């Protein structure tokens, strides 16, 4: 497995992603600077990490979406390559048009940093292939703008094409109007593009991969990719 | 020509900043309602006519300055 972790000015979870990819998963991993125009050859997975790319100027992710490396990411995604956008990375993928919708300021205005529970909605995409539908994953969120929104037609389309992969749930597993701490539409925490090779999510799986850090459920996503890469290709 | 582009969240989108400021104003005794916070962008464009300047600004809005999912913009030609 070969992984590229994008680095923008203001990325601050790039080293977490590099650490998990290299040390925890044992994958060949390369940081890729935003001014580069190509990805390392044979990249399987591009991680767009969290942070505050370009200081969140204009809108979260808006400037990063135009960075030179993003053309290569578009090509990679179009060819079926995997892209994982975490937090600010999710915002960047939305601004770049690789995923539908947008992330608004949290409903309660405040920056939220807390543990959340995600309910797995779909397991026939590479990112969740080793998980079970309805399974709960515990991992942290840390964002000011994670309140997912889109227009009604887009929401219908997301549901029709089963693009919602993770929903915010109560610890009991129940998903309802109060289970998304940031106010996300339809409790959406993460979604894929129609072909299922681009995932964006606001919670941080890369911060939940080692018992010493208190949470390990994020591993499920990386292990799903490993499993899929090894056995499905 | 100088252009001012005012970008605001669409009316249907909750504006928590506006809401917080509204509460702040009300706590000071002002009868402020429906506070919406936006962003004002001023720039110079090279154009022969105000119409051409406006058209250029419109293109900039579509390319970068406005996210049509959540925002709307008003373009003014200032001079």
Cα of A62 to nearest chain B Cα, Å: 7
Q: CB distance B69–A108 less than 8 Å?
A: no
Q: Are B38 and B6 in contact (CB under 8 A)?
A: yes
State the Cα–Cα distance between residues B74 and B5, nearest whole angstrom.
6
State the Cα–Cα distance between residues A154 and A158, nearest whole angstrom.
6
State the Cα–Cα distance between residues A133 and A97, nearest whole angstrom.
27
Residue of B nearest to A108 (CA): B16
Q: CB distance A59–B16 less than 8 Å?
A: no
- Cα→Cα distances A49→A20, A169, B23, B63, Å: 12, 23, 35, 24
Mean residue pLDDT across chain A? 96
Burial class (CB in 10 A: 0-12, 13-18, 19+), A89: buried
pLDDT at A233: 67
Q: CB distance A104–B70 less than 8 Å?
A: yes
pLDDT tens per residue across span A189-223: 999 999 999 999 999 999 999 999 999 999 999 99
pLDDT at B79: 86
Contacts 24+ apart (CB under 8 A), B60-64: B60/B5, B61/B5, B61/B7, B64/A58, B64/A62, B64/A66
- Cα→Cα distances A19→A3, A204, A224, B76, Å: 12, 14, 18, 49
- Other beta carbons within 10 angstroms of residue A190's beta carbon come to 29
pLDDT at A232: 83
Question: Which residue(s) pair with A120 in the sheet?
Answer: A166
Catalytic (active site) residue A177:
no
If chain B, 79 residues long, is cut into consecutive pieces of 10 residues, what is the mean pLDDT of each piece?
96 86 96 94 96 97 95 95
Sheet containing A2-7, strands listed edge to edge, beginning at the edge strand earlier in sequence: A28-33, A2-7, A45-48, A82-86, A198-201, A188-192, A164-169, A112-120, A136-143
- Cα→Cα distances A192→A74, A93, A129, A195, Å: 14, 10, 13, 8
* Contacts with A, B 9-48, CB within 8 Å: 9, 13-14, 16-17, 19-20
pLDDT tens per residue across span A139-195: 999 999 999 999 999 999 999 999 999 999 999 999 999 999 999 999 999 999 999
* Residue tagged active-site, from A60, A204, A226, A228: A204
């Amino acid at each position: 497995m070969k992984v590229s972790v994008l680095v923008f000015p203001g990325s601050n979870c790039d080293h977490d992603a590099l650490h998990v990819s290299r040390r925890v998963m044992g994958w060949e991993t390369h940081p890729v600077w935003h001014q580069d125009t190509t990805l390392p050859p044979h990249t399987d997975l591009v991680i767009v990490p969290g942070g505050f790319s370009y200081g969140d100027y204009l809108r979260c992710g808006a400037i990063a979406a135009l960075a030179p490396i993003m053309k290569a990411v578009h090509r990679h995604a179009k060819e079926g390559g995997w892209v994982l956008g975490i937090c600010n990375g999710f915002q960047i993928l939305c601004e770049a048009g690789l995923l539908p919708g947008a992330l608004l300021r949290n409903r309660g205005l405040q920056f939220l940093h807390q543990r959340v529970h995600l309910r797995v909605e779909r397991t026939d995409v590479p990112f969740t292939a080793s998980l079970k539908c309805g399974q709960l994953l515990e991992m942290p969120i840390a964002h000011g703008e994670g309140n997912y929104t889109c227009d009604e037609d887009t929401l219908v389309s997301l549901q029709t094409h089963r693009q919602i992969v993770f929903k915010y749930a109560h610890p009991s597993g129940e998903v309802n109007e109060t289970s998304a701490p940031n106010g996300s539409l339809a409790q959406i925490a993460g979604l894929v593009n129609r072909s299922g090779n681009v995932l964006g999510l606001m919670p941080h799986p890369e911060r939940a991969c080692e018992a010493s850090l208190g949470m390990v459920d994020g591993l499920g996503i990386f292990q799903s990719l490993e499993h899929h890469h090894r056995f499905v290709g | 020509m100088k252009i001012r582009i005012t970008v605001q969240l669409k009316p249907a989108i909750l504006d928590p900043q506006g809401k917080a400021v509204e509460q702040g104003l009300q706590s000071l005794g002002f009868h402020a309602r429906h506070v919406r916070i936006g962003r004002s962008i001023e720039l110079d464009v090279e154009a022969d006519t105000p119409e051409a300047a406006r058209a250029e600004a419109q293109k900039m809005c579509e390319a970068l300055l406005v996210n049509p999912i959540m925002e709307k913009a008003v373009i003014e030609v200032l001079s």
